[in-house]
Amino acid sequence: MNDKPVVLVTRKLPDAVEKKLAEQFIPLLNPDDRLYDTGELLQLAENADAILPCHTEKFDADTIANLPARVKAIANFSVGVDHVDLEAARRKQVIVTNTPDVLSDATAEIAMLLMLGAARRASEGEHIMRNQLWKDWSPAFMVGRQITGKRLGILGMGRVGQVVAARARGFDMTIHYHNRQPLNPDHAGDATYHDSVEGLLANVDVLSIHCPASDATRGLLNRERLATMHRDAILVNTSRGGVIDDDALVEALQTGVIAAAGLDVFNGEPDAIHPGYRQLDNVFLLPHIGSATRETRDAMGFRAIDNLVAIFSGREPGDRVA
């Protein structure tokens, strides 16, 4: 590349990523980490050949249609691409990439944390300790559930789901899963395949959601499906909030249809999260930190840069989704 392309970076990236980006491109950085509104984004894009956004920026059909003609690519700093209208990008001939694989270990760790936190009433325990409410110990105090030896259901046995299964086997959990198609034995291992969501839910003690958000999965965990789970079941979500019907889940947790939930992702995050979750003791909440390790955030950035280098070198990027 003789003349360095200009890349609009919409959020503050790790220092190592910004340094590497500057070696290959002219970056337009966001050192204050402000969330740009659509008007600002489009105005800044006037001077850019590509955009390196996060899932916090929404590229709907109108936004993509109004992108300057010089913008050739949207290289996402995320594995999920539900914030981008991929069909609109194809019409505009804007290449879209993501950052798969490198998030799997970190997200699986958070899934295990959510399982344990929800099962062992970590939110309640944290509240008691920070507010000096611990007055006594008894055999009946803070009794939760054990996940060791339980049945783990994985909804979406892709990269992350398979790592979660590997980690859960360390807790002697038996693995069940649902995909559109069963995996080959090399990837499924000893996991039991269920050909329907309902069949999976009825046969697990803990459900971990790892399917992408799409029109097909929006509201997938609704009132009817939650009712097929048993009353001691725990639901964990590290994928996207859109997979869950919030009203249905809040009601299920309030009425004891299921026992507890651990959530890292939400509809309307961060400002418009369903208020019911904050009122429930049996929900363990985290602020969308599934990929928030130094190692993973650096790897995500390097992967996005690799995709941009390929695009502006005339090669097919390895992680193209549109």
> Annotated active-site positions, please?
240, 269, 288
What is the rounded CA–CA span in Å between residue 32 and residue 51?
A: 17
What is 60-80 written as a DSSP string?
-HHHHHTS-TT--EEE-SSS-
Torsion, Cα 318 77 84 64, to 10 degrees, reads: -90
Query: What's 232-275 look like in SS3?
Result: CCEEEECCCHHHECHHHHHHHHHHCCCCEEEECCCCCCCCCCCH
DSSP-derived letter for residue 130 is H
- What 3-state class would DSSP assign to 146? coil
What is the rounded CA–CA span in Å between residue 116 and residue 228?
A: 22
